[in-house]
Every structure is written in structure tokens, then in C-alpha cells.
Structure 1
Amino acid sequence: MTNISSFYRLGIQQPELQFVDIKLDQDNLLFFDPRLIEYLQTPLTKKMQKHLEVFWGEVIKSVKLKSYEKSNYLLSGLGEPNETRLGYSLDRPYGNSVGNKLIKKIFDTIYNNLAVRTGVLSHFADIELFFEDISSDRISDMTTKIVKSVLIDYTQEQCRLHNIPMEKCIQKDIFDYENVKWITKKVELPIYNGKPILFTPKAIVRLEGAAGKNVSCFYRFAIRQFVSHDRNMLKDVSSTGKDGKILIRDVQAKYPVSKESLANWSVHHYGKLLVDYKTDHLQGRLRPLSDMEIMEIVYDSNHSQTG
């Protein structure tokens, strides 16, 4: 098994590295977490967040204006990245872009989603709570492509720090947030088996399935803190508690988890539901993975498939 540290003979492993010590010949089941990018507020994550804010703002604006050409252009740059080796990248054709069907689906979701149309969903990191078919893998891919220019700079910085050789290569679909364009540039990056590598800061990755857990967590918060106190929503709930008391399980039975429901509830409560969830519930619970958690993925061949 070949990791960055072993291939370049760094003499150190994950705890001493700031980037993920990925397996170079296999997938690494770790995923970019835009929520951590938004939360950490370091100089590096602030740069990334700026790219995400500009991109997402322009996509929403183009969809609301029914500017199909502009929205298609922006979404077409979200190719599935292979350079980070995160997720399932090695199982895919190199540079495979988001297909036309998915572009249309994302466009339709943005256009029809109540949370987007009312301004409740204004942060890129929140789309996993309201958009169907947006899993840890998909949002990780999208995030990677939007912040690619920051990753290139970061990788070059880490290579200079650890004396890792780089070669000139062409990189396509780099988001230029100042001009809102996808550009192609010749840059210097480390190369392995003829393909470039982008390093990923270890503080902004999460485990597989985290997006689904976030949805479940948001749903439970919504049920307990809002829905169960909304008299109008409780009118048709069948109670199973003593003396006709409505229990949490009764509310959940009436309102099963649904991203559409989460969007509707957030709008119904004027955005307070989402704001309270992020400030009162998530604050203090968000944390980067530990070195040990990352090591269980990148140093264990059972956590990936050979590409």
C-alpha cells in the first residue's frame, strides 16, 4: 500500500502531517465537508468559503433569472475529481463531468425548492439538508471542484515544505471566483503514475455517510424543537401517550423524515429552524476528524477498493 508519506519517503505519518496521507493506488473513503469549511474560520477555510459563496450565489441567481445557459455553464464545471483520491474517484472515468441529466436535476431542484426560492437556503453547506440525491460523495465532489484553485496553492505550499517534487501539468475546470469563470491553467503539482495529485487539508474531511447523519440530526431537532410545539401541525397526529399525550414518536409517525418536509418546515418557521439548528445544536458539536480516525481509513486497505 502506497501513501504520500511512503512514496515520497517523508519519514513521518498522519499525526505529523497537515494533509490527508492518502493511499495513492486506492480510493480513500473520506469526503470534503463544506460544513467544516464554513465553521473553522481559518485563513485557508476562509478562502475556500469565499469560492463556495460566490459560486452558489451565482448559481442561484442564474436559476432564478431562468438563465439556462449561465446555470448550465456553472454546473458543467463540476466534474468528478480524481486528483484528491477521496471518495470513489478511482472507480470513475478520469475527468468525468456531471452528466446532463444531473445538471437538469440540480437546476430543477434549485428552481423548485422552496428553501432556495425564499432565501432560507443561502449557504452551500446546507444543500445536503434539502436536496435529494446529494450524499457525502456528491457534495464532496462539488466542493472539491469549486475550491480547486485553493487546493492547488495549498498542495504547492505543502510540497515546498516537505521537499516533494512537482511537475508542470494542465489543470482544467478551475473556478475563478473573481470573474465567475471556469479556466484552464498550467500549474505545478506532484505526479504519481502520470497523474497529478491534490493534497487535502485533514481538518476538513469527514467519514462516509456523514451527510445522511446530518439530515437525520436536523430532522430530530426539527421534530423536537419546532414541529412538536406547532399546534396546527399536531391537529392530525394520533396520540399513543398516557391520557392522550402526544409523544415524539407519534409526531415522527405522522411526519417521517423527508428533505422536502425539512425545506417546508424551515420556510414555515421563517428560517429560524435552520438558524437555531446551526447555532444552538451544531455549535460545539462540529469537529475535525482525529488523526486516529483518518489513519483507520488511509492505512487500512479494507477501507477502500483497488482502482
Structure 2
Amino acid sequence: MKKHISELLNHPRTGHSHFEFVDINVLDDQELFIDPCLIEIQQGPWYSNATKLLDDFFNKFYEAYRNNDTPKKLELLSCAREINFTKLGYGKGDNGHGNTAEGLLVTFKNLENLTVSVPSIAKAMDLPVTIPGFNEDGLSDMITNILHLQMNTFTLEQLAIRNVQPNSEDTFDTWNLVSSSWEKVTAPCYRYENNKILLTPKNIVRKKYHFGANQFLMRVILERAKKETAYINPKGKIRYRTTKKELRFAIPKEDRNWKYKYINEESERDQSFLTDYHDAIPYLYSNKAMTDAELDKFIY
């Protein structure tokens, strides 16, 4: 059974070209995830402010890990757990230990050393690259909490466009840019069958991130290693003595987390790898937001 938010707003289900938000099925979860890179490359006040909030939170987050400040880590992670108001992600508690601050402490335990040995770790996108087992679902939940008030305001604005009034009130935690801390706020909201709904701008979701450990390994580390084997053949053309596939095959694979181990060792050896990756993101994500047609096919 499906019931899309457009139905609740008394709008004919004519597709995402008519909406600024993801037309979620409010009765189930959709395996879409908020992508911080898509937020960063979009133009407009909403995306600019969201980027500032994310940058501010993750500055404090990585600072706490560099200082090994456990009380601060727990404070930051206490409001970064699983959240289901957007009806995005896997939902149903599938994050395991990720839905508690203590569980996230375990997930991020390697950051205590990494943030010291690799100072270029600085952005939200760096977590799925360097931390085993932390992927789209966990990061999307963190982002939703950080942007909770901004997303709630966006939801109310979209309701107002369709002459629908908020029907409830909620008290929740959200990231405050002025105080650089969590703030508890009370604001009007929209509920369906007593479940709060947060609408998500359609331009910031994906089925799978374009960045991650494998992307970082292949596009940055092994790409550079391949280029170091370049030579000019007798016809004056650039050729390479090895391929990225061959380089990848040669990496020791002693356990299932070999990829993260190798990435982190290489990033520690050469601090420019992550910096280069940050610089490459706008190119990697150019025109990579889901189209209206792709969203229609996935949602409907």
C-alpha cells in the first residue's frame, strides 16, 4: 500500500517536475539518501545555509576527535542518531548500534588516531571513505538531525504553497550555527497519523553516493599511482606501464576492511590525497542529482 505526500496535500500525482521535494510514500521508507556533496554544489540560500551548518558541525566533530574529548564526542553524537521523519533510508532500526551515541562512538573509534595522523579529514564526505561500516544511511541520518530545523521550515513552506496548514507542534534538537552546538527548539510541524513528516529537497538525494572508499581508492590514490608510471612511446603518445586494475590487485587483502586500511595508510603518508578528493567533488557531482524522471520511476 502506498500513500504519497502529494495525496495528503490534495495534489494530483503528476510527477516530480511539479514538486521541489521528494514525493515520499508516508507509509514506508524509500532507499534514498541525503548526499552532502549534492548540497554543497547546489545554488541558492537553502543549500548555502545547509552547507554552513554541516561545515560547522563537522569542524566541531573532528576537533573533538583530535582532542580525544569523549564528553564532547558524546554530546555531538547524542543528537546525530537514526531519524525517520523523512521516510528516507533503510529505516526500521536497521542501523544496528548506529542509533545511539554510544554505538556511534564504537563506529568512529578509529577517528581518534586518524584525525591526528590525517589532518586533511575535514568534511562529512570523509566518513564513508575512511570508516568501515559507515555508509549512506548513517551519514544521511546525521545530516537530517543537523538540518532538522531547516528541513522543518522547508516542509512548512511547501505546505503553505499548497494552502495546507501545520497540524501539530514538535520539540526537537537541531544544530545552531551561532552557538556551534545542539539547540532544542519548538516549532509547528506536519504529522500524518501522529508521525511527523519532514520533506526533503529533491536535488539532494541519491540512491547511492558517488563518493566512498572505492571511488577514493580508484579515482585518487590509484589514478595518481598509475600516472607515476607514464612514459612517451616512439609515436609521442603517453602510455602507462601499469593499470589501476593491476595496482588494485597488488594491494594486500588480509581482512575484509583492507580497502579502508590501505586508504588510511596512504592518506597518512600523503596528506594531499584527501585534499585532491575534496577538490574533485564538484567535477564528480556535476549534473549528478537525480532527474525528475529518475525520481518518478523510483518513487512511483
Aligned match of 2:182: 182
Change (3 A) 1:216 1:73: same
Aligned match of 1:140: 140
**Aligned: 1:170 with 2:178:** no
Aligned match of 2:26: 24
| Alpha-carbon distance, 1:25 to partner | 0.4
| Alpha-carbon distance, 1:79 to partner | 2.3
| Alpha-carbon distance, 1:270 to partner | 2.6
Q: Is the 8 A contact 1:22 1:298 kept in 2?
A: yes
| Alpha-carbon distance, 1:98 to partner | 2.9
> Structure 1: which amino acid aligns with 2:90?
Y
Aligned match of 1:35: 37
Q: Helix, strand or coil for the counterpart of 2:173?
A: strand
Q: Helix, strand or coil for the counterpart of 1:46?
A: helix
| Alpha-carbon distance, 1:247 to partner | 4.1
Aligned match of 1:236: none
> Structure 1: which amino acid aligns with 2:218?
R
Structure 2, unmatched stretches of 5+, are 230-240
Deviations 1:61-92 (A, max 9, x none): 12222221111011111121111000123x13
Q: Is the 8 A contact 1:129 1:259 kept in 2?
A: yes
Distance 1:80 1:281 in 2: 26
Distance 1:29 1:69 in 2: 33
Aligned match of 1:239: none
Change (3 A) 1:83 1:119: same
Aligned match of 1:251: 247
**Aligned: 1:263 with 2:264:** yes
Aligned match of 2:226: 228
Aligned match of 2:298: 297
Structure 1, unmatched stretches of 5+, are 232-244, 300-307
Distance 1:68 1:224 in 2: 35
Aligned match of 1:104: 105
| Alpha-carbon distance, 1:142 to partner | 0.9
Q: Is the 8 A contact 1:5 1:13 kept in 2?
A: no
Change (3 A) 1:277 1:125: closer
| Alpha-carbon distance, 1:206 to partner | 0.4
Q: Helix, strand or coil for the counterpart of 2:213?
A: helix
Aligned match of 2:216: 218
Change (3 A) 1:281 1:165: closer
Aligned match of 2:275: 275
Q: Is the 8 A contact 2:136 2:209 kept in 1?
A: yes
Deviations 1:235-260 (A, max 9, x none): xxxxxxxxxx5443331111266123
Q: Is the 8 A contact 2:128 2:134 kept in 1?
A: yes
Distance 2:153 2:183 in 1: 15
Q: Is the 8 A contact 1:63 1:107 kept in 2?
A: no
Change (3 A) 1:294 1:74: same
Change (3 A) 1:157 1:247: closer
Identity of aligned residues (%): 23
Change (3 A) 1:155 1:117: farther
Q: CA RMSD in A?
A: 2.4
TM-score (norm 2): 0.84
Distance 2:161 2:6 in 1: 13
Change (3 A) 1:23 1:172: same
Distance 2:174 2:280 in 1: 36
Distance 1:178 1:147 in 2: 14
Distance 2:64 2:278 in 1: 27
Deviations 1:217-245 (A, max 9, x none): 222123542223558xxxxxxxxxxxxx5
Q: Helix, strand or coil for the counterpart of 2:220?
A: helix
Distance 2:98 2:167 in 1: 25
Deviations 1:244-290 (A, max 9, x none): x544333111126612322332333332x333344357515432101
Distance 1:276 1:206 in 2: 23
> Structure 1: which amino acid aligns with 2:10?
R
> Structure 2: which amino acid aligns with 1:227?
A
Deviations 1:100-124 (A, max 9, x none): 542322442221225x643211111
